[in-house]
Structure 1
């Protein structure tokens, strides 16, 4: 399927936009008034901008909502000669933001969109207005970061599988067929809302991974953890002080089987000790899928009130 122009049964009706600023053809959604305050939504593994389809039409009534697909995900290109480590995604996002000259950015981050977004914040704190994490880690130079990552990996089925599959040499083969086993991957990570599953929904998440050459993004993120290739961005003193003064919100689905709240919410409170944390019982890792109305309302209300 050519997903560049399909709306997946009308569930993703947003006009596609493209830029080559990061050195590849990057897709992004750009909805709402051009002069509106910017909300930048960053997806994770193995999703794409489709994850934010419920949030976009609500916020774009008053804000400019921009949703890029990371390299190797969604409608963005999957270069065959690039690496897909965390630092590559941060570089790509930085080039994207600078090319569009975005300021007064509200970050909305999910999964590995958290480390990517916080990497951008470390480099360009002056462009950030608010920070919203939804089941996303917020690494920002905390001294116990790696200890927390490793402690989480000991209990997370997803990270346990990554480690074992890499050791057995099967990681690339399995994730190279992600278009066929996308539902299994989502369920392993912690997806709870079975009522939403349909052929169109599975197609939306599976079709970007039509063959192994399309799966380098998903493989790279998993493999980068297994081999220790990801590099977290650490802020300098000025960036650290600037970000700590921003309004911030954490939303966490407590049925997350991939990222344990006990391991990662302390990263958030270390930066934003007075910020609100909202825990959602019976909501899994993909909180935007499990509780779209609730999460959309929480984000919208927070932006309006701050």
Structure 2
């Protein structure tokens, strides 16, 4: 029954820039070997561009593209940095775009006893920026990544130049009720099993998770499902960490943060899918009221939680607008 509840809730231009790397997987900061270029998919290109930063938190996976002032892209759950491939393609001419994988999600390699709570994720990101010699960033964040972004604004305001938030946690709605079934599955150590079904039944992934978070789940490609789900269930440790990530969503990581956000000097733009029933338009209006430097809200008609993957041009347009102000 719990599994059915979860399934109900979860209801390549970028490749061109790294096509030469598709013949090999770049890993741990080492360059690609000298193999002949071959055509590759968006997922293959992203995989080939992946690097690892060796931090005290573990080996943090990230993909980087572009030069100049940096932008940090923070993904939601159970996704990874691949969520931002379309936005990075459009914005890398304007920023050094960095998309890390959170601890417990994606391809980051984390020690067994490392905390996966939001405050630890924020501390990891600061360490990552230090390792990459990045003093300040424009943040673009979604879902649980938006909660971590708000913690960065409060605890490390000097590192945040601007903040673009899409559908994400707010203090009054973290974690949202629709995520509770996934948390309960994690508590029962069954969430990884439910997610593993997506790898053998892609239609199920589209009909459940895809329908819950995308306006057009038919565009949730097989390779995207593989790229998101495979690392989460790849070993007993990764399964346990996937569960631990969700258990760390409680208690509310944003409890008590509102008063400090009300004093933030960071320019903020809010871009919200108004078809999302996980984070409602009221969450967007709350953020707009709370941040004194809010530049307002853009609602995307019919868009759901992970619309930045479907409509990266909207993210690029709004980011450029905000960055001109920041």
State the match for 2:124 in structure 1. 92
State the match for 1:201 in structure 2. 224
Q: Distance in 1 between matches of 2:120 and 2:98?
A: 20
Q: Distance in 2 between matches of 1:5 and 1:193?
A: 32
What TM-score comes out, normalization by structure 1 length?
0.80
Q: Distance in 2 between matches of 1:101 and 1:209?
A: 29
CA RMSD in angstroms, aligned pairs only: 3.1
State the match for 1:218 in structure 2. 242
1:254 aligns with 2:274: yes
Q: Distance in 2 between matches of 1:41 and 1:8?
A: 26
Q: Secondary structure at the match of 2:168?
A: coil
1:23 aligns with 2:35: no
Query: In 1, are the aligned partners of 2:267 and 2:293 still within 8 Å (CA)?
Result: no
Q: Does the C-alpha gap of structure 1 residues 119 and 295 become closer, same or farther in structure 2, counting only changes over 3 Å?
A: same
Query: In 1, are the aligned partners of 2:272 and 2:284 still within 8 Å (CA)?
Result: no
Q: Does the C-alpha gap of structure 1 residues 51 and 8 become closer, same or farther in structure 2, counting only changes over 3 Å?
A: farther
1:285 aligns with 2:316: no
Query: In 2, are the aligned partners of 1:45 and 1:112 still within 8 Å (CA)?
Result: yes
Q: Which runs of at least 4 in structure 1 moved beyond 6 Å after TM superposition?
A: none
Query: In 2, are the aligned partners of 1:188 and 1:257 still within 8 Å (CA)?
Result: no
Query: In 2, are the aligned partners of 1:22 and 1:91 still within 8 Å (CA)?
Result: no
Q: Distance in 1 between matches of 2:254 and 2:302?
A: 32
Residue correspondences, number: 283
Q: Distance in 2 between matches of 1:229 and 1:291?
A: 29
How far does residue 230 in structure 1 lie from its aligned partner after superposition? 4.1
How far does residue 5 in structure 1 lie from its aligned partner after superposition? 5.4
Q: Does the C-alpha gap of structure 1 residues 10 and 292 become closer, same or farther in structure 2, counting only changes over 3 Å?
A: same
State the match for 2:191 in structure 1. 174
Unaligned runs of at least 5 residues, structure 1: 140-144
Q: How does 1:1-12 map to 2 (within 5 A)?
A: 9-12=40-43
